[in-house]
Amino acid sequence: MTPTPIAFGTSGWRGILGDEFTCFNLRRVTRAVARHFCQEIPDRQPMIFVGFDTRFLSEHLAHEVVAVLAAEGVKPVLSTTFTPTPALAHTVLHRKFDGGINLTASHNPAEYSGIKLSTRDGAPAPSEVTRRIESLLNEIRDGSAPPPLPASKVKTLDPAPEYRKAVLKHVRSKVIARARLKLVCDPVNGAGSGYLPPLLSPAKSLFTIRAHRDVTFGGHPPDCTEKELSPLIQEVRRRQAHLGLATDGDADRFGVVDRGGRFVPPNWVLALIADYLLETREPRLGIARTVATTRLLDDVAASHSVPLFETPVGFKHFRDLLVNRKALVACEESSGLSVVGHVPEKDGLLAACLVAEMVAFRRKPLHHLIEDLFRKTGPRYSRREDHRLNAEQMDELRARMESPPESLAGKKVMELHRKDGTYLGFQDESWLLLRLSGTEPLARYYVEARNPRDVGRLLDAARAMIPAR
């Protein structure tokens, strides 16, 4: 039997449950992970923390992982409850585990499952680690089940109490309490259900929706896009709440709805939080963002005279900037945020709490805060589009990008780089980034401009570059 090829993406390995993501393949991946850690730590038994989200079979899959780890000479510790990825990262870091495995497909639809791998510092596994695991996978054909561990032999740990305390160290809960906010929180039936409501409990009024386990997520992906947060938007309007705050399936991403049910794009939320933290926190460190994230963060950094750090896409690239205390806040356009002194992993729960604190402190709705920021920095509008292509289209588009156009939508290209994908910068400070997925036939376009009309024009021009089927 030829093993199925398995590749790690920007944030772990995931696939459709029962198709590429099978118990057989999960055991192979776990064996590769275990052997990597045993080779890296040859003088003692490595210890790995294992968590799981609210998806179908997640607990069963976590027990499969525990059994394989134990059979491979690794000491596993299993979470007692559904585990947000940032909570797993915190536990790995502060309980001094050698790594962590979370059984989650994050914001992907219910038919998916996956794993996220953390290293001992709580950061997502870097590319050199995942490449090593992929190399080991090529040697592993055994996906058989080892003898199950008796329940009495499985050591467990509840990550929630220590993690919630860690988040609250970075949040001024008294500010939230004094403002007497009315909040709606929405964990979208995901792993944040046991975390988001308690963290926001200082609010005067707190209403919670979609906090029960539903392995189908109501038939929608457990994501924080405007479309998937329509129940939260409706509830904010119905309750006349100040804010609606959401987290995705594994609570590493955030979603924000302003008073009146206005969805707030994550790029704007990131810029507002960065500006707020630089005004209210010490020390005054820099801002880190990925190449695909809004240049509003550059404007905020310039207005506060702090450095701006740019990285490729993937939160794993922020690890050194946060650990070495160069960046106060790290931001990724896909609703990812963390702060120095916390964990080098994106944390939607922390982001939601900081948004509540910011609105409480400034006593203005978010749309007014955005207007204030635009008056200070100038406006920026951004959009992202994902296009599923066939293999031939991917190859042709990749070839076209070897010689990208000198102008697009009537704008002359002034800057070209390939830090992560193909980036085209234009004279009026607008830009376009094309990234081709390495794990699936997907092209992602990121566009930003000073006005919405130019965003639309650049996207039209970008779509026109896609080869016909």
pLDDT at residue 128, as a whole number: 94
Quick: pLDDT tens for 30-85.
999 999 999 999 999 999 999 999 999 999 999 999 999 999 999 999 999 999 99
Give the mean pLDDT of 454-459. Answer: 96
Q: Has residue 3 got a pLDDT over 70?
A: no
Quick: pLDDT tens for 102-112.
999 999 999 99
Give the mean pLDDT of 425-440. Answer: 90
Neighbours of 151 (CB within 10 A): 8
pLDDT at residue 2, as a whole number: 59
Which percentage of the chain shows pLDDT scores above 90?
Answer: 91
Q: Which of 4-13, 189-198, 247-256 has the lowest mean pLDDT?
A: 4-13
pLDDT at residue 141, as a whole number: 87
Q: Has residue 1 got a pLDDT over 60?
A: no
Quick: pLDDT tens for 128-174.
999 999 999 988 988 898 988 888 889 999 999 999 999 999 999 99
Please give the Cα distance from 53 to 251 (Å, whole number): 10
CATH numbers and ranges of domains, the chain: 13-158 (3.40.120.10), 169-377 (3.40.120.10), 381-464 (3.30.310.50)
Q: Has residue 434 got a pLDDT over 90?
A: yes
Quick: pLDDT tens for 373-410.
999 999 999 999 999 999 899 999 999 889 999 999 99
Give the mean pLDDT of 197-216. Answer: 97
Quick: pLDDT tens for 228-268.
999 999 999 999 999 999 999 999 999 999 999 999 999 99
| Token pair 């310039």: residue | 302
What is the residue-averaged pLDDT of the chain?
95
SS (H, E, C) the chain: CCCCCCCCECCEEEEEECCCECHHHHHHHHHHHHHHHHHHCCCCCCEEEEEECCCCCHHHHHHHHHHHHHHCCCEEEEECCCCCHHHHHHHHHHCCCCEEEEECCCCCCCCEEEEEEEECCCCECCHHHHHHHHHHHCCCCCCCCCCCCCHHHCEEECCHHHHHHHHHCCCCHHHHHHHCCEEEEECCCCHHHHCHHHHCCCCCEEEECCCCCCCCHHHCCCCCCCCCCHHHHHHHHHHCCCEEEEECCCCCCEEEEECCCEEECHHHHHHHHHHHHHHHCCCCCEEEEECCCCCHHHHHHHHCCCCEEEECCCHHHHHHHHHCCCEEEEEECCCEEEECCCCCCCCHHHHHHHHHHHHHHHCCCHHHHHHHHHHHHCCCEEEEEEEECCHHHHHHHHHHCCCCCCEECCEEEEEEECCCCEEEEECCCCEEEEEECCCCCEEEEEEEECCHHHHHHHHHHHHHCCCCC
pLDDT at residue 150, as a whole number: 86
Which percentage of the chain shows pLDDT scores above 70?
Answer: 99
Closest CA to 437 of 469, 397, 464: 397
Closest CA to 62 of 27, 97, 11, 10: 27
Which amino acid, residue 84? P
pLDDT at residue 152, as a whole number: 85
Where residue 290 falls among pLDDT bands split at 50, 70, 90? very high
